[in-house]
Amino acid sequence: NERAAMLGLLQIISAALSQYPTSLAQDKADLADERLFPRFSNKRHAKIQVRGEKEVLHHYARWARTALEVLEVIEDELKEEQQRGVEVQLGRGVVPDDSSRSCGYDYIIRRMEEDEANVHHTVVRYCADVLG
């Protein structure tokens, strides 16, 4: 299932990041110090390479966390619909309008789209487009 896949991906990313002796933040700070990491030096280029590897890992971690958040929103929305006795049909992208709900799927997706730092916008946009 999707949740298990995203949790597995996060575990793999966490294990990979734990193999590095420094954090991404430390790499960025190190690269700001041209005395310790002189321009055009092999030491600096190695640090740049490792920083790039970590940026990729962090990108996919953010992607997986966003996917988990979207899955949670969908599951909550389905539970709410089932509790209200609405027939739930996945993949149709049609959810009856109910102005009494202040935190429905559409509202949450819009809020996630507005979040600049903590969500992966590609995942949010894809889910919004596919799931309605």
Ranges 18-22, 92-96, 102-106: which has the least confidence: 92-96
DSSP state of 43: H
Model pLDDT for residues 68-98, shown as the tens digit of each residue = 988 888 888 778 877 777 655 554 444 454 5
Q: How far is the C-alpha of 66 from the C-alpha of 45, rounded, in Å? A: 31
Helix (H), strand (E) counts: the chain: 5, 0
Tell me what pLDDT residue 131 has.
60
Q: What average pLDDT does range 29-57 have in this prediction?
A: 97
The model's pTM is 0.71
Q: Supply 117's token pair.
A: 């730092």
Q: How far is the C-alpha of 91 from the C-alpha of 124, rounded, in Å? A: 16
